Structure 1
Amino acid sequence: MELLAVEAVGRGLVVRAAEEVGAEAEGGTAHWYGGPVAVARLAGRLGFALLEPADDWLARLPEEFTGREVCLATVADAWAIRRPMFVKPPREKSFSAEVYADGSRLPGELDPATPVLVSEVVTFASEYRLFLLDGQIVAGSRYAVFGRLDPLPLDWGGAVAAEITEFVERLVGVAGAALPSAVVVDVGQVLDPYRAGHRWAVVEANMAWFSHAYAADPARVLDVVLRAAGPRDRVGAGDLAFVRQ
């Protein structure tokens, strides 16, 4: 957040923390980077249009892009499962996204109707966060190795970046129309237990305005954030379906 704030100030933008926003900001041109709880208080006053992918986008992808079975379910559905599974909220971080031994291990205080993404358990050797604008990767970095946080800038001239670019181009060709024009897509190398090597798969899609930049170029990340959370009157026709309600 600090890196993006420095970049924004360098562009002549005024940066304010959520608790510092006063009446003087109303009626102006405002953008947002931060969590959904705070923005719920400010979106109406400041006229944000927050772009986000649909809850079931990942579940609707062909398995060639997910590398595993994924479905959109409810907490009640997940409670009934009696095998190991990976469960996560589609958007807000209302509970910990992780592998659960079975449904009984999920938090019991959750609303049974809460949507969740449930997937079979796989091993991601490494994971990369990509900021996309109009279907093109404009920034990205590694953020985890075998599930542990380990940010590293992406070498855009290297073999890994070339593989990622080729995979994302195929992904956008198949499912890009079902994403907002400014979005974050996480991808990773899934280890295949039956043969040597790995294959690329989508980890998840996220809101750019609520995604850590890790080691990505802050200037390019900010370009995506400004599009993903800006004035309602600047939203393109293709993005109207992705505006957070």
Structure 2
Amino acid sequence: MELLAGEATARGMATLTAEEIGAAEEIGAEAGPAYWYGGPVAGARLAARLGFALLEPADDWLSELPEEFTGREVRAATVADAWAIERPTFVKPPRDKSFPPDVYADGSRLPAGLDPATPVLLSEVVTFAAEYRLFLLDGRIATGSRYAVFGRLDPRPLDRHGAVATEITEFVEHLVATAGPTLPSAVVVDVGQLLDPYRPGHRWAVVEANMAWFSHAYAADPARVLDVVLRSAGPRERVRPEDLRFVRH
């Protein structure tokens, strides 16, 4: 957040925290257009007041992808469905952080107090050797970063001229050609090297898609990250027609 705020300031933009905005009695029109980078709860609360629109991938986007891109079985469900699982399953909320994404041995291990109607994604348990965060703008990788190795945080800039970057670019180009219209024009897609015990080496697979305005930049280029964020959470009147269906009302 500090890196993006610094980049925004360098562009002549004023930056305020949600608390500072909330404490202000009035935000005048002379302040100019508003953009958002932060959590979904505060973002939803301030969107109407400040006039920005939040672009979000559909909750079931990952579960609707062909298995050639996921490398595993993924299905959209609810917390009530998750309570019924009887084998280890990776369970996560598709868009917010209402409970920790994790492998749960069975449905009884989910946190208490969850709304049974809450959407979740249920995924077959797999191993990602390395995971990369990619900020996409108009279907192309604007910038990216490795963020984890075997599930442990390990950020590193994505070498745009290396073999891994070339493989990622080819995979994303194929993904966009197939499923690009089902994503906002500014979005984050996480991909990873999926280990297959029955196949030597690795294969690329989508980990998940996320809102750019609520995604950690890790070691990605802050300037390019900000470009994607500004498109993903900017003035409502500037939302492109093809992105209107990704605005959560």
Q: Structure 2 length as normaliser, TM-score?
A: 0.97
Alignment correspondent of 1:37: 41
Equivalent runs, 1:208-219 vs 2, <5 Å: 208-219=212-223
Are residue 224 (structure 1) and residue 215 (structure 2) matched?
Answer: no
Alignment correspondent of 2:61: 57
Query: What is the letter of the counterpart of residue 12 of structure 1?
Result: G
Are residue 242 (structure 1) and residue 231 (structure 2) matched?
Answer: no
Contact preservation (8 Å) 1:26, 1:46:
no
Alignment correspondent of 1:166: 170
Alignment correspondent of 1:5: 5
Separation in 2, partners of 1:100, 1:163 = 32
How many residues align? The count is: 245
Match of 2:112 among 108, 113, 117: 108
Are residue 177 (structure 1) and residue 203 (structure 2) matched?
Answer: no
Aligned-residue offset at 1:23: 4.4
Aligned-residue offset at 1:195: 2.2
Aligned-residue offset at 1:88: 0.3
Separation in 1, partners of 2:26, 2:7 = 22
Q: Deviations over 1:74-124 (max 9, x none)?
A: 000010010000000000100000100011111121000100000000000
Point out where structure 2 has 5 or more consecutive residues left out of the alignment: none
Q: Deviations over 1:145-181 (max 9, x none)?
A: 0000000001110000000000000000000100000
Query: What is the letter of the counterpart of residue 11 of structure 1?
Result: R
Matched position secondary structure for 2:234: strand
Separation in 2, partners of 1:58, 1:175 = 10
Separation in 2, partners of 1:109, 1:26 = 40
Matched position secondary structure for 1:161: helix
Matched position secondary structure for 1:196: strand
Matched position secondary structure for 2:56: coil
Matched position secondary structure for 2:112: coil
Query: What is the letter of the counterpart of residue 60 of structure 1?
Result: E
Contact preservation (8 Å) 1:190, 1:199:
yes
Are residue 122 (structure 1) and residue 135 (structure 2) matched?
Answer: no
Equivalent runs, 1:77-88 vs 2, <5 Å: 77-88=81-92
Are residue 96 (structure 1) and residue 83 (structure 2) matched?
Answer: no
Matched position secondary structure for 2:206: strand
Query: What is the letter of the counterpart of residue 54 of structure 2?
Result: L
Q: Structure 1 length as normaliser, TM-score?
A: 0.98
Moved >6 Å (runs of 4+)? none
Point out where structure 1 has 5 or more consecutive residues left out of the alignment: none
Separation in 1, partners of 2:128, 2:5 = 32
| RMSD (Å) for aligned C-alpha atoms | 0.8
Contact preservation (8 Å) 1:140, 1:154:
yes
